[in-house]
Amino acid sequence: MPVITTEVAYLLLIFGLMVIPRALQRFRIPAPVTSFGLGMVATALQGSFSQDATLSLLATLGISSLFLFAGLEIDLDDLRRGKWPLLGHLVVRSFSLAAVSYGAMHFFGFAWQVAALLALSLLTPSTGFILDTLPGLGLTDNERYWVTIKAVGGELLALLLLFTVLKSGTVEGIVISSGALLAMIVGLPLLLLLLGRVVAPHAPGSEFSLLVMVGLIAAYLSYKLGVYYLMGAFLAGFTARMLRKRLPALASDENLHAIQMFASFFVPFYFFHKGLDVPAGALTWLALGSGLLLTAAALPMRLALVWSQRRFIRGETSRGSLRVATALMPTLIFTLVLATILRERFQISDTLYGALLVYAGVSTILPSLVLAKAMDFDAFVGPLPPAGSDPAAVRLPSLRKNNEPA
């Protein structure tokens, strides 16, 4: 019987991750959920090989590029236009995080750091995933606008809280880490400006590769700071967006679309790699039941909070408010990241880890089952704009300047 070589195995893996999840999207199963399941199946059939260096690299490229894209998607003008409703949303989010954290400490005896991370894992929408799937949800321009700014605002708040919680062990630790983060915030624009002025003019078309390189460097630095890859990659994307007027080619719509496509290729490897790490103790009936109970408690609360804000404060229709609330439910990436941190650093039980996975899966599938269209993780955003037209108007009409929020 012929032996499958390493090269052939990787080719089969790439084929499987590119084809199978996308084929199953016709049944409204989000591709990341399928990729994660394939990782668990692979472990069950062949044993754990999550330490494979190549898979780890591909997974890092996936999560870093996704958060780089999320940072690039931020438009401060759009945030300013909806600043008061957004601030109200963040205040409500802060109170809900505090309430869930207190409940986890009071009723289940968790340490405050664990309780805070659990609250973040349950209540934080995965902005990169949501932005990727928005075009396939059948929302109106106004609904897409509000989903976008609320997801972005929620993620900014969550990243700040994540950094604070993870580095709060000692005063010395948080001071040093804050200084390093501040140095990164100052250094990233300087690095991008240097590359944009010294390298890019002499290497036309290099903006994409330069931006990806800076994103990976920033992701690695934030990982070494102990706050995982996502914060650094997000900061790199956000910094590039802030420099759009000075370096227009770096954060152009074409470059943003290229980053989006780059992420859509590599992100399946991240979910597959995470699926390989699921312990046997997380695949029990107890974990499944706990996850369903967690889902039954958390999802209705999240839906009610967003729906009530839209319905009674903004005066929207019940249906429109529910569509915005439902689109904000997916937590897959943030829950996976925080569940991993909780398991590796705080040794939560396999049962709780499995429950978080169940919750992440259900919250992610919900919009594709409820809203008009099936999710498409490729985030196909419509036809390319005709020559001479404004690409941003075709790519994301909800963020056009003449589309003022209702």
- The CATH number that applies at residue 107 is 1.20.1530.20
| 396 located within any domain | no
Q: In this predicted structure, what is the pLDDT of residue 374?
A: 41
| 402 located within any domain | no
Residue positions counted in the chain: 406
Cβ burial of 180 (10 Å; 0-12, 13-18, 19+) is middle
| 400 located within any domain | no
Tally the domains of the chain: 1
| 405 located within any domain | no
DSSP string, 136-153: GTT--HHHHHHHHHHHHH
Place of tokens 């605002």: 153
| 105 located within any domain | yes
Q: What residue ranges of the chain have pLDDT lower than 50?
A: 1, 374-406
Phi then psi for residue 373, to 5 deg, are: -120, 155
Q: In this predicted structure, what is the pLDDT of residue 329?
A: 94
Closest CA to 377 of 290, 230, 260: 260
Task: Compute and round to an integer the Cα radius of gyration of the chain.
Answer: 21
| 367 located within any domain | yes
Q: How far apart are CA 331 and CA 329, in angstroms?
A: 6
pTM for the complete prediction? Answer: 0.84
Q: In this predicted structure, what is the pLDDT of residue 404?
A: 42
| 104 located within any domain | yes
Looking at 371-401, list the stretches that DSSP marks H as alpha helix, in order from N- to C-terminal side: 391-395
Q: How far apart are CA 320 and CA 144, in angstroms?
A: 11
Range of the domain at 55: 6-381
- pLDDT by residue (tens digit) across 331-361? 998 899 999 999 999 999 999 999 999 999 9
